[in-house]
Amino acid sequence: MKKKVNFFSSKGSNSFLSAIMAIAAGLLFGLVILLISNAKEAFPAFVMILKGGFASGLAGLGQVLYLATPIILTGLSVGFAFKTGLFNIGSSGQFTCGAFAAVYIGVKWTFLPGGIHWIVALLGAALVGALWGIVPGVLKAIANVNEVITSIMMNYIGMYLINILIVKFVHDPIKNQSVPVAPTAIIPKAGLDKLFGTNNMNISVFIAILMVVLIYIVLNKTTFGYELKACGLSPDASKYAGINAKRNIVLSMVIAGALSGFGGGLLYLAGSGKYLQVLDVLAPQGFNGISVALLGMSNPIGILFSGLFIAHITVGGSNTQLYNFVPEVIDIIIAAIIYCGAFALLFKNLIARFGKKSSGATKEEG
């Protein structure tokens, strides 16, 4: 009984439980939407959503991992900036710029030897993403410009700029998209494609997990991470303690940008038949990253699982088309989850009260 009390009152499990409650509330709301739009098919469709990737065996699972990989990276990006008290809504632009850098290197730098080409392309993606993140960071640190606005502007500038660059350097005019990258630039599949029976599988997901661990260590085990979090919690106090807040703002946005750009590289070097397109649409992975980060409470491990969860129900959502539903119902559910997640404080208080009650009950028993 004592163990249970600790479970309810510890901080980590408390966040976890409030995330679960938000998910439950969001799913319930989704069920209501399904019932209103088509009551007859609502329940089988809802079961389809819950089953997600598991509905179609290993290939479905592979699809979940494929969709999760880039949004785990953009989620890490947004979450990392959150820890410094910054809202990186510009993940979308950083993602696109990184993706372009990866494709450009993948197409043009064929002089690189096989084992190195894809690594250089990925590093290039991170570097260009970082460059895109540096602008809001520097403007915030030097001129006190609201980073939400600057990163939104950078999203649009990036989108239009990359459209120009695709046409100029790596354009396939017939399909109005980028040309395929050289085979040496494709991330190794290491037999995973055969194991899962889908061409979308490669070692990206392991690279993503590696990044999660890396960011976890940086945030929780290093002085730099401690300083970043201190700046996020109280800028004034950390300034007083001699922490260089301006430098940390810039570094935080640079790392956030690098993570998003890296995610773009991972997606477009997967050799899965996905190409950069010349469209006036912001990359949705950036905005999904916000959902992933919020649901994961900005904790790297939480982000890993929330990324997998969102990919899981996204696959489930596309399966609901079997019952004549529109897959956008998943976006509605995710939005509802985030909205309920905003009540974290309320949920936490409820859980704490519940924890107290059960601890009170233990005392009475004893």
Taking the complex as a whole, the smallest distance from the CB of residue 235 to other proteins amounts, in Å, to: 14
Q: Rounded to an integer, what distance in angstroms lies between the CA atom of residue 322 and that of residue 44?
A: 10
Determine which residue in the list 27, 55, 134, 332 makes contact with other proteins, applying CB under 8 A.
332
Give the C-alpha separation, 340 to 169, whole Å: 45
- Smallest gap from residue 145 Cβ to other proteins (A): 4
Site for other proteins in 244-273 (CB under 8 A): none
Nearer of residues 54 and 156 to other proteins, judged by Cβ = 156
> Which of 45, 71, 294, 313 is close enough to bind other proteins by CB under 8 A?
294
Nearer to other proteins, 103 or 162 (CB): 162
Q: From CA 88, how far away is CA 195, in angstroms rounded?
A: 37
> How far is residue 44's CA from residue 35's CA, in Å, rounded to a whole number?
11
Least distance in Å: CB of 210 to other proteins? 28
* Binding test (CB under 8 A) with other proteins, winner from 5, 25, 27, 33: 33
Residue 312: partners with Cβ closer than 8 Å, 6 or more residues away: 52, 53, 64, 68
Q: Which of 251, 269, 290, 313 binds other proteins (CB under 8 A)?
A: 290
Q: Per-residue string for binding with other proteins, 34-53, x by CB under 8 A?
A: ---xx---------------
Q: Which residues in the 71-100 window bind other proteins by CB under 8 A?
A: 87, 89
Q: Pick the binder of other proteins from 68, 135, 243, 304 (CB under 8 A).
A: 135
CA-based diameter of the chain, in Å? 77
- Binding to other proteins (CB under 8 A) within 3-22 occurs at none
By the 10 Å C-beta count (0-12 exposed, 13-18 middle, 19+ buried), 215 is classed as buried
Cβ of residue 338: shortest distance to other proteins, in angstroms? 4
| Residue 160 near other proteins by CB under 8 A | yes
Identity of the residue, 125 or 330, whose beta carbon is nearer to other proteins in the bound complex: 330
Q: Which stretch binds other proteins (CB under 8 A): 60-68, 153-161, 233-241, 302-310?
A: 153-161
Shortest Å distance, C-beta 29 to other proteins: 10
At closest approach, how far in Å is the CB of 276 from other proteins?
14
Taking contact as CB under 8 A, which single stretch among the options 116-124, 172-180, 223-231, 322-330 is the one that binds other proteins?
Answer: 322-330
Q: Which stretch binds other proteins (CB under 8 A): 103-111, 177-185, 302-310, 331-339?
A: 331-339
Q: How far is CA 104 from CA 100, 162, 328, in A?
A: 6, 11, 32
- Interaction site with other proteins (CB under 8 A): 33, 37-38, 87, 89, 135, 139, 143-146, 148-150, 152-154, 156-157, 160-161, 163-164, 280, 282, 287, 290-291, 294, 325-326, 328-329, 331-332, 334-336, 338-339, 341-346
